[in-house]
Amino acid sequence: MTDGPTDRPALDEALAALTARAGDAVLGTAFAKGELTVRLRPDAVIAAVAFLKAERGFTALNDMIGLDNGPAPAEGRKRFTVLYQLYNREARLRIRLAADVAEGEPLASIVGVHKAADWAEREIFDMFGVVFEGHPDLRRVYLDPEFEGHPLRKDFPLRGKA
Amino acid sequence: MSFKDLELNMGPQHPSTHGVLRLKVKVDNEVIHSIEPVVGYLHRGMEKLWESLTYPQIMPLTDRLDYIAAVANNFGYALAVEKLAGIEVPKRAQYIRVILAELMRISSHLAWIGFQANDIGAVSVLLYGFEDREDFLDIFEAYAGGRLTINAMRIGGVPFDLDAALIARIRAALAGLPHRIREIETLLNENRIWKHRTQGVGFLSAAEAVDYGLTGPCLRAAGIPWDMRKDIPYSSYEDFEFDVPTTDRSDVYGRYLVRMQEIRQSARIVTQALDRLPEGEHIAKVPRVLKIPAGEVFHTTEAPKGELGFYIKSNGTDKPERMKMKSPSFINLQSLPLMCRGGIFSDIVGILGSLDIVLGEIDK
């Protein structure tokens, strides 16, 4: 264990650098089960991802994950959360960035930074209806273009139609 | 007659797309102009379904993702749930899991070489690959009763212990393996047609491979030795000696070389695990109704197709609030258009095969 917020000195350093860079765009950090989550203001995500890639060695985007916090999200939270799993292979470090967006609120696409985000963003658009601004080709990836609704939203029924 | 800017559909029902995949291809006579994969024909809404099931109920569904290597999915899912719930897995169970997962990798790569050679036109290799794979499917059948969708793991361990008879059977299968791989290599390594169809075809630079999120044997064939079993070891992989094969070729031939070497390395791991199999329980004591306190984890494993990840968010109940699979085939397929640039139409089948995608995993 270290004195820092995480259990790895290198991860503490990366977090400190990110916090110094992003300033008040960092809304909070959490460390649990060996995993670090940094919550950012949505407009600061692309700069943070680019900074971590260029200067802190987080060259790989493992995955992007969409979450629906329900039609009536908790106090201070918004409807959707988008998570970015970044990986620094040299130092074996993972960081999870989180951005909350309301329904209809756009989020900047990170395809310009990580090409791997292309289909990942299309999938979140398909399943949740989160719009990624600046994505070169934002279409549904799995479902038919004619399909109505976004199946992974909590108010979309398991059986039957929306 | 000219075929400039001709648009062709390959699939969704095409014998070499390994599932239901459609490729929209634009060709300039025989040269590929652009190519766009269209997925979703098999989409079953697994992630939605998982939210309505308890943690143990999800296990058999993970078999249906990458059905050529079902154990790899069981493994990845079990590890993620155990990390989230803080369950300690007995050492013997960890070793048995490694044995099953590596046997599955061998079986998956043998199926791959059969399919791949068949797609390219070397039909006899299909018979060799599938005959060799049969031995391993028999082992799974003897272990858990299934051949493809085996449901070979439980949260906290494995459902059955390995007995002496099965261990002897695994050893016998491994003993015959080097000869069988050599047979396939004799057919292919210096085969003029095979080399012509695979060497220099489907090139992707190392930097592009990382940028596009490529993982698994395809990334290692681009000279990048990333392997989760070495990088962030799980389930006691740090106990075993093995190499991570790489090549700088980064073409279809290179991906073939890497996979053949990986079969050998997997056999090495299984042999070590059998030799040093610890005594003890094969499953931890896990409550019948498993309720996991609120939290989230992201855990990845090295599956035969690439880096397989599970993100699970729990809310204190016996069902996940959200569970997302990071499918290596889905991410890897994104780089197909890049690998095909400047190629000719007949290369598509070979390049697509070299990615080793499974549509069950893409269309989760």
pLDDT tens profile A121-147:
999 999 999 999 999 999 999 998 898
What is the model's pLDDT at position A82? Answer: 94
Domain residues of chain B, as ranges?
Answer: 6-362
Structure confidence at residue B15 as a pLDDT band (50, 70, 90): low
What is the model's pLDDT at position B225? Answer: 92
Among partner residues B45, B83, B331, which is closest to A116 by beta-carbon distance?
Answer: B331
Mean pLDDT on B257-265: 94
The 3-state DSSP class for residue A24 equals helix
Among partner residues A62, A68, A116, which is closest to B300 by beta-carbon distance?
Answer: A62
Q: How large a percentage of chain B has pLDDT more than 90?
A: 60
Residue B55: alpha-carbon gap to chain centroid: 23
CATH number 3.30.1300.10 is the correct assignment for the domain at A9-133: no
Q: Mind listing the pLDDT tens digit for each residue in B237-248?
A: 999 999 999 999
Residue B272 distance to chain A (closest CA, Å):
26
Mean pLDDT on B71-76: 93
CB proximity A61 to B under 8 Å: yes
Domain residues of chain A, as ranges?
Answer: 9-133
Whether the per-residue pLDDT at B19 is higher than 80: the answer is no
User: Nearest-CA residue of chain A relative to B42?
Assistant: A142
- Cβ count within 10 A of residue A48: 25
Residue B283 distance to chain A (closest CA, Å):
22
Instruction: Spell out which residues of chain A touch residue B43, defining contact as CB-CB under 8 Å.
Output: 142-143
CB proximity B356 to A under 8 Å: no
Mean pLDDT on B101-108: 94
Q: Mind listing the pLDDT tens digit for each residue in A44-98?
A: 999 999 999 998 899 999 999 999 998 888 877 889 999 999 999 988 999 999 9
What is the model's pLDDT at position B8? Answer: 87
Residue A156 distance to chain B (closest CA, Å):
9
What is the model's pLDDT at position A72? Answer: 82
Residue A17 distance to chain B (closest CA, Å):
23
Among partner residues B48, B211, B326, which is closest to A115 by beta-carbon distance?
Answer: B211
CB proximity A143 to B under 8 Å: yes
Instruction: Spell out which residues of chain A touch residue B212, defining contact as CB-CB under 8 Å.
Output: 115-116
Whole-complex ipTM: 0.91
Q: Mind listing the pLDDT tens digit for each residue in B26-42?
A: 888 888 888 999 998 88
CB proximity B45 to A under 8 Å: yes
CB proximity B346 to A under 8 Å: no
Among partner residues B45, B295, B330, which is closest to A119 by beta-carbon distance?
Answer: B330
What is the model's pLDDT at position B58? Answer: 93
Ramachandran bin of A11, using left for φ above 0, alpha for ψ from -120 to 50, beta for the remaining angles: alpha
**Distant-in-sequence, close-in-space partners of B129: CB < 8 Å, separation ≥ 6:** B110, B111, B112, B113, B114, B115, B117, B184
CA–CA separation, A82 and A107 (whole Å)? 9
Instruction: Spell out which residues of chain B touch residue A151, defining contact as CB-CB under 8 Å.
Output: 45, 48
User: Nearest-CA residue of chain B relative to A145?
Assistant: B40
CB proximity A101 to B under 8 Å: no
CB proximity B52 to A under 8 Å: yes
Mean pLDDT on B34-57: 91
CB proximity B294 to A under 8 Å: no
Q: Mind listing the pLDDT tens digit for each residue in A11-24?
A: 888 888 888 888 88
CATH code of domain B6-362: 1.10.645.10
Structure confidence at residue A1 as a pLDDT band (50, 70, 90): very low
What is the model's pLDDT at position A127? Answer: 93
What is the model's pLDDT at position A3? Answer: 59
CA angle A153, A156, A158 (to 5 degrees): 115
Where b means 16+ CB within 10 Å and e means fewer, B191-223 reads: beebeebbeebbbbeeebbbbbbbbbbbbbbbe
What is the model's pLDDT at position B200? Answer: 87
Tell me which of A33, A124, A153 to substitute to probe the interface with B (most B C-beta atoms closer than 10 Å).
Answer: A33
Whether the per-residue pLDDT at B336 is higher than 70: the answer is yes
Whether the per-residue pLDDT at B14 is higher than 90: the answer is no
CA distances from B17 to B5, B10, B128, B201 (A): 23, 8, 21, 18
pTM for this one?
0.91
User: Nearest-CA residue of chain B relative to A68?
Assistant: B322
Q: Which of A62-76, B85-99, B226-240 has the lowest mean pLDDT?
A: A62-76
CA distances from A64 to B65, B77, B215 (A): 19, 18, 16
Quick check: B199 and B253 in contact, CB under 8 A? yes
What is the model's pLDDT at position B265? Answer: 94
**Cβ separation of A116 and B334 shorter than 8 Å?**
yes
Q: Mind listing the pLDDT tens digit for each residue in B193-223?
A: 999 999 989 898 998 999 999 999 999 999 9
- Secondary structure of chain B in HEC code, one letter for each residue: CCCCCEEEEECCCCCCCCCCCEEEEEEECCEEEEEEEECCCCCCCHHHHHCCCCHHHHHHHHCCCCHHHHHHHHHHHHHHHHHHHCCCCCHHHHHHHHHHHHHHHHHHHHHHHHHHHHHHCCHHHHHHHHHHHHHHHHHHHHHHCCCCCCCCCECCECCCCCCHHHHHHHHHHHHHHHHHHHHHHHHHCCCHHHHHHHCCCCCCCHHHHHHCCCCCHHHHCCCCCCCHHHHCCCCCHHHCCCCCCCCCCCCHHHHHHHHHHHHHHHHHHHHHHHHCCCCCCCECCCCCCCCCCCEEEEEEEEECCEEEEEEEEECCCCCEEEEEEECHHHHHHCCHHHHHCCCECCHHHHHHHHHCCCHHHHCC
